[in-house]
């Protein structure tokens, strides 16, 4: 039985998600999630790929902090490049 897009997942009671469920939770296509899967915490149980909910939450938090740090550094570099030496009379 295929789930409707409007179905919600109760992450409070789930230990792990399958790829289609995780993709839906992340707002990604299943194809895109499979492409980045080597960088995402997961394991294989038999023929099933599972993404542990807590590990996925921690990974997302780390990714967000890393990206924010990159953005902060880029902004700093741009602002430093805009600094103009004061004119001397």
pLDDT tens per residue across span 23-73: 999 999 999 999 999 999 999 999 999 999 999 999 988 888 886 676 677
| Structural domain contains residue 20 | yes
Q: Which domain holds residue 48?
A: 14-80
Confidence of residue 1 (pLDDT cuts 50, 70, 90): very low
pLDDT of 6 strictly over 90: no
Give the domain CATH number at 34: 1.10.10
Distance spanning both ends of the chain, measured CA to CA = 79
| Structural domain contains residue 9 | no
Token pair listed for 9: 């997942």
Q: What pTM does this model have?
A: 0.65
| Structural domain contains residue 2 | no
Strand partners, 51: 17
The count of structural domains within the chain is: 1
| Structural domain contains residue 6 | no
CB within 8 A of 29, min separation 6: which ones?
A: 23
């Amino acid at each position: 039985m295929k789930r409707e897009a409007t179905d919600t997942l109760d992450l409070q009671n789930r230990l792990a998600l399958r790829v289609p469920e995780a993709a839906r939770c992340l707002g990604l296509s299943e194809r895109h999630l499979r492409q980045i899967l080597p960088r995402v915490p997961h394991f294989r149980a038999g023929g099933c790929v599972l993404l542990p909910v807590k590990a996925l939450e921690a990974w997302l938090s780390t990714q967000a902090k890393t990206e924010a740090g990159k953005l902060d550094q880029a902004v700093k570099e741009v602002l430093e490049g805009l600094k103009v030496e004061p004119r001397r009379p």
